[in-house]
Chains A and B, each alone.
Chain A
């Protein structure tokens, strides 16, 4: 199996607390990894480090065998869907404008229509992004992440505040991207049922890594499952 992401002894310290403490795991090509853990477990810090948004970590992160501190070239192979993209509601950009922002090669412009069609948002192409529902916006941001044919898709809890029907559609899109287009997916989620159905690997993060392995092994372990479903439900208690 080809390791395309290697996280090695990753520690991230804020002045008064360790957000990540000695986290080590790797992701193989073609994996669908679900990262679970309560709010404040360090998932966003992990993603920010992996995406090169911060370098204030200890340890190493490698993509495709290359230390990401040395080169940012790996970002060309990554599509990223943020948790809830923040933008002005009346920002004058259409769906096509938004997807076009990510497009690296102008010669691949027909790819925009292709990807919008694939995600069933083709008819929304000329609408402004701020006019769309949460679920539609989310599909636009997936389209934007996919337009350069990335090898890896990284998604940060992307179903926050989205209706059930859109979430189901979103999950079926993810499954197809992983199984048919062989895109490696790294996905953080609160939804244990969805992780059970979709992911083939699970990482349980709560500042340290409590579990990393095949999802069957995780869901066979009743104690771990119980802990993480409780941890998710009691996330507001976390600070006590």
Chain B
């Protein structure tokens, strides 16, 4: 138990992938949280469970089918929400349960493949391959570039849709763009914390950062910092003590949230 663990190649891959995912989830999560869409990440993750089961049954790499199913269901649910005027939380509930239901039925038909499914449910960051790492870095790069290019439009339509429309921003397209990026982010992040804990990465660092009362960019930077801290320390600690990384990462970010709440209620942070 020393700095030796930092010399392992699998640890390098885990840390590099983990940091990329931390940045991605913080950035996309901030838009989702501010749109009162916090559980959307959770819903896509659950629907990707159906995709993973499908891939395992068909003998295809499960994350590919997960990408397909998640993106399609994210776009369908956004369309249904617009067309039938279903509230955000109800549409999230529909998406969430359909994904799990589809997954369970497929698993039933295939006679069960519990071991493989387990690593997708709870993540397996220490097992990421070189190819996984490259894919994660590639998607992170693309999504961050898109966010930077469309920063003003994304922020404006998140702040107030009607005003954004009057300013000539194509709000509907921006909404689809966010949902699409969230779908990609979720499936990419499954390897780090698994289907069940994804929304923690989307929501907790952002809720913590928002409490510091700063502007948008500083809030995003704070959130990314909290997220990277939880992921890096979480991976190292979990390896040293041989516990699950996903649980450790999420508990660390909850610790940061609790600490921020403590500082805030003690009056050290200005109220807003």
1/0 per residue, CB under 8 A from A, across B209-223: the answer is 111011111110000
Contact, CB under 8 Å: A86 / B160: yes
Task: Name the residue on A nearest B220 (C-beta).
Answer: A92
B265 at the interface (CB under 8 A from A): no
A92–B216 Cα gap in the complex (Å)?
Answer: 5
Task: Name the residue on A nearest B163 (C-beta).
Answer: A82
A76 at the interface (CB under 8 A from B): yes
A3–B210 Cα gap in the complex (Å)?
Answer: 47
Contact, CB under 8 Å: A80 / B214: no
Residues of chain B within 8 A of A80, CB atoms compared: 163, 166-167
Residues of A at under 8 Å CB distance from B? 51-53, 72, 75-76, 78, 80, 82, 85-88, 90-94, 96-98, 100-103, 126, 128, 130-131
Task: Name the residue on A nearest B152 (C-beta).
Answer: A101
A210–B20 Cα gap in the complex (Å)?
Answer: 63
**A-B pair number, CB within 8 angstroms:** 71
Instruction: Kindly state the interface size class of chain B when it binds its partner.
Output: 20 to 34
A85 touches which one: B160, B213, B214 (CB < 8 A)? Answer: B160
A166–B88 Cα gap in the complex (Å)?
Answer: 37
Residues of chain A within 8 A of B216, CB atoms compared: 92-94, 97
Closest approach, in angstroms, between the C-beta of B268 and any C-beta of chain A? 17
Contact, CB under 8 Å: B166 / A101: no
Contact, CB under 8 Å: B163 / A93: no
Residues of B at under 8 Å CB distance from A? 34, 36, 152, 155-156, 159-160, 162-168, 209-211, 213-219, 272
Closest approach, in angstroms, between the C-beta of A5 and any C-beta of chain B? 15
A80–B213 Cα gap in the complex (Å)?
Answer: 27
Closest approach, in angstroms, between the C-beta of A173 and any C-beta of chain B? 19
Residues of chain A within 8 A of B34, CB atoms compared: 88, 91-92
Main secondary structure of the interface of B (DSSP, over half): helix
Contact, CB under 8 Å: A100 / B213: no
Residues of chain A within 8 A of B210, CB atoms compared: 90, 92
Task: Name the residue on A nearest B272 (C-beta).
Answer: A131
Residues of chain A within 8 A of B214, CB atoms compared: 92, 94, 128
A76–B167 Cα gap in the complex (Å)?
Answer: 7
Residues of chain B within 8 A of A93, CB atoms compared: 155, 159, 215-216
Residues of chain B within 8 A of A97, CB atoms compared: 155, 215-217
A52 touches which one: B166, B217, B219, B272 (CB < 8 A)? Answer: B166
Question: Among the interface residues B36, B159, B162, which one has the most CB atoms of the partner chain A within 10 A?
Answer: B159
A128–B160 Cα gap in the complex (Å)?
Answer: 16
A223–B108 Cα gap in the complex (Å)?
Answer: 79
